[in-house]
């Protein structure tokens, strides 16, 4: 009974994390790694508990910036991707420019956002948007271009309008690819928000990491990284739940054990 409970799919990630923590602690003990290089897990947990109110308060600010950038990614990225998918002219002009923009390091241009938009939340939102924008566009374009032409021809032969064809065939067939891009984008948006906090901010998990790094407080750094990773995981799971609700018919939603 215990073995069956431990092998439940929902518990597998926690079992893996527990195993990694044990290996982490054993490695520190076996190789005598000093705490100023890598703190032991128990010390990180203690710091996490001690600084929990501050970490929770700062994590909300990072989460808001992440969601703001992710929202812009959806509102701007998906319509642009649809224009690219349905117009060769737009694709020839816009798509190469998008690819070119990805070669510019976001860390290098993030200070410009502070100059342009100040030290508020908006620079962090823009940074999160820029990191999550490209995966959503690429995945959405691929999704709409992968729709079977025979299905579209069948809908037209049956007298369906362009709007009906879009909502009944094109959009449902493209949704799996769109959600794939959204899952990548939400994790990158977290990174983008932290990059914005590194450059110019006095709040957020990125700010906590900077302060901990300046004070050489490794346990606090690891605790902040745990909170940051948790934010990414929670947001990813939220997107996954929405995907399961919207496309339960797709093959990707089949349970594999």
Q: Is the pLDDT of residue 187 over 70?
A: yes
| pLDDT at residue 186 in the model | 92
Percent of the chain with pLDDT over 90: 11
Most confident region among 44-48, 61-65, 90-94 by mean pLDDT: 61-65
Tens of pLDDT, residue by residue over 112-137, are 776 677 677 788 888 888 888 888 99
- What's the CATH code, domain 51-253? 1.10.3720.10
Minimum mean pLDDT range among 27-41, 129-143, 167-181: 27-41
d(CA 233, CA 225): 12
Reported confidence tier of residue 67, pLDDT bands at 50, 70, 90: very high
What are the residue ranges spanned by the domains of the chain? Answer: 17-46, 51-253
What distance in Å separates the CA atoms of residue 52 and residue 137, rounded to the nearest whole number?
37
């Amino acid at each position: 009974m215990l073995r069956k409970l431990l092998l439940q799919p929902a518990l597998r990630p926690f079992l893996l994390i527990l195993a990694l923590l044990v290996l982490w602690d054993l490695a520190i003990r076996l190789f005598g790694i000093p705490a100023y290089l890598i703190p032991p897990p128990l010390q990180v947990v203690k710091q996490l508990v001690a600084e929990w109110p501050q970490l929770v308060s700062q994590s909300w600010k990072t989460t808001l910036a992440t969601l703001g950038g992710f929202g812009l990614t959806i509102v701007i990225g998906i319509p642009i991707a649809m224009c690219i998918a349905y117009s060769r002219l737009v694709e020839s002009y816009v798509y190469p420019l998008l690819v070119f923009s990805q070669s510019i390091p976001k860390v290098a241009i993030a200070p410009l956002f502070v100059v342009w938009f100040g030290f508020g939340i908006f620079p962090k939102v823009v940074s999160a948007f820029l990191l999550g924008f490209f995966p959503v566009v690429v995945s959405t374009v691929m999704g709409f271009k992968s729709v079977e032409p025979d299905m579209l021809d069948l809908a037209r032969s049956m007298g369906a309008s362009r709007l009906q064809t879009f909502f009944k065939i094109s959009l449902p067939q493209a949704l799996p690819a769109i959600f794939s891009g959204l899952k990548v984008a939400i994790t990158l948006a977290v990174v983008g928000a932290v990059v914005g906090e590194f450059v110019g901010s006095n709040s957020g998990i990125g700010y906590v990491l900077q302060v901990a790094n300046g004070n050489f407080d490794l346990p606090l750094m690891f605790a902040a990284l745990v909170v940051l990773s948790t934010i990414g995981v929670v947001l990813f799971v939220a997107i996954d739940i929405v995907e399961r609700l919207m496309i339960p018919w797709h093959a990707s939603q089949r349970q594999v054990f």
